[in-house]
Amino acid sequence: MNVSSYPDGNVRRDWTREEIAGLFALPFLDLVMRAQTVHRAYFAANEVQISQLLSIKTGGCPEDCGYCSQSASHATGLKASKLMDVADVVADARAARDAGATRYCMGAAWRSPKDRDVEAVCEMIEGVKALGMETCVTLGMLSGPQAQRLKEAGLDYYNHNLDTSPEYYTEVITTRTYQDRLDTLENLRAADIAVCCGGIIGMGEQREDRVGLLHSLATLPVHPESVPINSLVRVAGTRLGDSAPVDAIEFARVIAVARILMPKSMVRLSAGRGELTDEAQALCFLAGANSIFYGDKLLTTPNPEESRDRKLMRTLGLVPMQPAAT
Ligand code: SAM
Ligand code: DTB
Ligand code: SF4
């Protein structure tokens, strides 16, 4: 049963908020069954794509994102650092590849990169590509020419999240607008770079904001190739550091609805896995998540240890997905 496509095989991009709210309201088992059915129509059931993250430039960011340890407006005790050397980044990527990661994601705490920063990141992209890995970077807002330059260097994916619904957004960030983010996504599409775009659950938003976030993502001109669903990592000293923890069943619902709305996209069970039990993670995989970050650290916060992840993958019979041949 292919429940998310038009008869010609194209995925739907005309979802309404009412339809999406209706999916959230389904009995949980019906929702998960439907998401798993969609998942199996588009993906190998037991494959999980594995990415590794590195913070190539940490802290001191001028933006005021309420969740972020790296914002200069938060006193989190994080030590700021300059852009890393290319050789150190490539050495870390090699270790990640040898541990099984097929995609390497580099993040920088910038509002937007300067052109000379883009040149340095291009060298990193070339070095990581030469290892046979897919590359992803997240550098903040990007102009059209900067996106073109990254494409020339061989960049595969760019991560730029919408974070939450348009309505809740101003509660979280005031230094850049929702439209700024949509503009960057458009620049990426124009440069033919695959898009990694999702959001964060657990920032004090309501169900309707989760509906609004998924509606924004699922009605973009092209669905993001990767959709990271982050559960807020509550960092002491950030404005949202005291938010209530996310209910694991509600989190699995968000994953399931994302899977149904964007059937061809990779749905990443992203930040916050450290606080999920193995059983809750298994539920998220059942709900259609098929991508994770490996490695003991995300950008600045801990991730489950590799040994725990290996054991979980073995227990669940999940196997790493190989990148599509390019
Ligand atoms: N500075 C760039 C930007 O914001 O565009 C790139 C890096 S930023 C850390 C990438 C994304 O990580 C954010 O958009 C947000 O969705 C996610 N993120 C950051 N801190 C987080 C946290 N504490 N918990 C969950 N997700 C987080
Ligand atoms: C995304 O959506 N999640 C990743 C990635 N994009 C760059 C980042 C998660 C960051 C978690 C908080 C931290 O480690 O600082
Ligand atoms: Fe800066 Fe990105 Fe953190 Fe926002 S999420 S404060 S832009 S590093």
Q: Using the mean position of ligand 1's atoms as its centre, give its distance from the Cα of residue 223 in Å.
A: 20
**Catalytic residue from among 65, 122, 197, 284:** 65
**Catalytic residue from among 103, 268, 273, 284:** 268
Catalytic-residue membership of 122:
no
**Catalytic residue from among 105, 122, 197, 284:** 105
Q: What is the pLDDT of residue 5?
A: 79
Q: What is the pLDDT of residue 323?
A: 76
Total-model pTM: 0.96
pLDDT class of 94 with cuts at 50, 70, 90: very high
- Average pLDDT on 270-298 reads 93
| 231 Cα nearest atom in ligand 1 | 25
Phi first, then psi: give them for residue 90, nearest 5 degrees: -65, -35
Q: What is the pLDDT of residue 213?
A: 98
Question: Using a 6 Å cutoff on CB, does residue 270 contact ligand 2?
Answer: yes
Is 293 in contact with 52 (CB distance < 8 Å)? yes
Q: What is the pLDDT of residue 106?
A: 97
What pLDDT, in 10s, does the model give residues 168-222?
Answer: 999 999 999 999 999 999 999 999 999 999 999 999 999 999 999 999 999 999 9
61 pLDDT more than 70: yes
pLDDT class of 3 with cuts at 50, 70, 90: low
Q: What is the pLDDT of residue 325?
A: 56
Q: What is the pLDDT of residue 2?
A: 52
| 62 Cα nearest atom in ligand 3 | 1
Q: Using the mean position of ligand 2's atoms as its centre, give its distance from the Cα of residue 105 in Å.
A: 10
pLDDT class of 295 with cuts at 50, 70, 90: confident
Q: What is the pLDDT of residue 7?
A: 79
Tokens 């996310």 correspond to: 246
Could you tell me the two tokens for 117? Answer: 């920063």
Q: What is the pLDDT of residue 296?
A: 83
Catalytic-residue membership of 68:
yes
Q: What is the pLDDT of residue 294?
A: 85
4 pLDDT more than 90: no
Indicate the range of 41-45, 84-88, 97-101 predicted with least confidence: 97-101
Question: Using a 6 Å cutoff on CB, does residue 271 contact ligand 2?
Answer: yes
What pLDDT, in 10s, does the model give residues 217-264?
Answer: 999 999 999 999 999 999 999 999 999 999 999 999 999 999 999 999
324 pLDDT more than 80: no
Q: Using the mean position of ligand 3's atoms as its centre, give its distance from the Cα of residue 254 in Å.
A: 23
Percent of the chain whose pLDDT exceeds 70 = 98
Ligand nearest to the CA of 298: 2
How would DSSP label each residue in 200-261? EE-SS--HHHHHHHHHHHHTSSS--SEEEEEEP---TTSTTTTPPPPPHHHHHHHHHHHHHH
- Average pLDDT on 136-148 reads 98
Could you tell me the two tokens for 220? Answer: 């973009």
Q: What is the pLDDT of residue 255?
A: 98
Indicate the average pLDDT of the chain.
95
8 pLDDT more than 80: no
Is 264 in contact with 296 (CB distance < 8 Å)? no
266 pLDDT more than 90: yes
Tokens 């003991």 correspond to: 296
Phi first, then psi: give them for residue 51, nearest 5 degrees: -120, 155
